[in-house]
Structure formats: C-alpha cells, structure tokens
Amino acid sequence: MTKLIWKPGTMIYPIPAVLVTCGDSIENYNIITIAWTGTVCTDPAMTYISLRPERHSYGIIERTGEFVINLTTEALVKATDYCGIKSGRNVNKFLEMKLTPEPASKIKAPLIGESPVNIECQVEQIMKLGSHHMFLAKVLAVNVDDAYMDNKNKFHLDASNPICYSHGQYYGLKKSLGGFGFSVAKKKKGSRK
C-alpha cells in the first residue's frame, strides 16, 4: 500500500453533524450545525463543541453559557445543511426549517422537538485553540423521544434513522455490522455460526 503524506488537517471521519441550539428567549433562539463535537468523559458526562468566533451562535453561547446538542436524522438532513450555511444574523432558522423550539428541563436554550435526542449542556471552559474555540461542557440532562422506547424500556436510536457526516457528505446508517462486544461474544447453543 502506498500512502500519500498530507499536511496536518482534520480527517477524522465519519463523525456526527449535530444541530446545536442556543439562546435564552424566543427572540434570540438560534440553531447552528456543528461537526466538531464529541464525548470527552462518561462520568461526569462531558462533551464539547468547537466554534469559530465569527459565528452568530458564538456570542450567544459565550454569554448564556448554555447550549443543546440535538441529534440529526434523515428527516432532518436538509435542516442540518441549511443551519450550517445560513446565519442567524439574517434568518430565523427555526421558522425557515419549520422546526419546533421546546423548553429544556435545566437550561433556557431550546430543544428541537423533531430531534430524537436533545442533550442539555452547561459550558465549563472555553479553550481558544486557533480557528476554533472549544466549549467544554457538562451534560445536565438528556431528553429522548419516547416513540423510540420499546416495552422493555430499551431505546432504539437506530429507528430514528440517524445520519453522519464524512468528508463533505451526509450519509444514512442503514446496516448494523454487529453489537458492542460481538467480536468476543460466545456463540449461542444451537447457532451454526
């Protein structure tokens, strides 16, 4: 295999593209699409988003110290792209994309009703890294759509048709290739595999 060596860059793909909501009153609610996000700690549950300071959302999140990460689905892919192209300085993205702001349980920033999972976050630290500033945040609450719960109280995120973002393209995730630990799981009695 021959490898080409590129200059340093961001090539960790696929990744989530999430809709981050912010604002503390209906007049200043905004939505921004974010790909630079992820989990940084399980307990306490912590996450981050990295924002360019020129984003309209930057000032709102810096001032309020709060945001919500709303997971995206195939039904939300157009809104995901739109909220990553248009600025809240010029348009009301909730109205344009017909998305429903709903109250969060712990913070003033709104949830997106149409998203299956909404993660309420409180900013702990802003790290000024360079092009992007990283907002390290504590998760205060997670809201899940009960339509994806089964009668054994198991949540089926896959049933919401989640999407991911890879090198400039949005993709659906149709096929499971195995569950956590499948590579070492013991075969069931009577199974031919």
Residues of this chain that bind ligand FMN (CB under 6 A): 17, 30, 32-36, 50-52, 55-57, 81, 84-89, 132, 165
52 vs 132: CA distance, rounded Å: 4
| Minimal distance, residue 9 CB to ligand FMN, in Å | 14
Name the residue nearer to ligand FMN (CB basis): 32 or 117.
32
Name the residue nearer to ligand FMN (CB basis): 81 or 145.
81
| Minimal distance, residue 87 CB to ligand FMN, in Å | 3
Name the residue nearer to ligand FMN (CB basis): 72 or 143.
72
| Minimal distance, residue 45 CB to ligand FMN, in Å | 20
Q: What is the DSSP letter of 78?
A: H
| Alpha-carbon 171 to chain mean position | 15
Q: Which helix (H) or strand (E) holds 64?
A: helix 56-64
Name the residue nearer to ligand FMN (CB basis): 61 or 117.
61
Name the residue nearer to ligand FMN (CB basis): 148 or 170.
170
User: For residue 102, which of 93, 115, 92 has the smallest C-alpha distance?
Assistant: 115
Angstrom distances, CA of residue 66 to CA of 46, 63, 114, 132, 141: 13, 8, 20, 18, 12
| Minimal distance, residue 140 CB to ligand FMN, in Å | 21
| Minimal distance, residue 139 CB to ligand FMN, in Å | 18
User: For residue 169, which of 51, 35, 28 has the smallest C-alpha distance?
Assistant: 35
Asked whether the beta carbons of 172 and 161 are under 8 A apart, the reply is yes
Angstrom distances, CA of residue 86 to CA of 29, 104, 113: 14, 24, 20
The label of the residue with tokens 């504590």 reads 138
Residue number, nearest CB to ligand FMN: 84
Q: What is the DSSP letter of 187?
A: P
Name the residue nearer to ligand FMN (CB basis): 104 or 165.
165
| Minimal distance, residue 16 CB to ligand FMN, in Å | 10
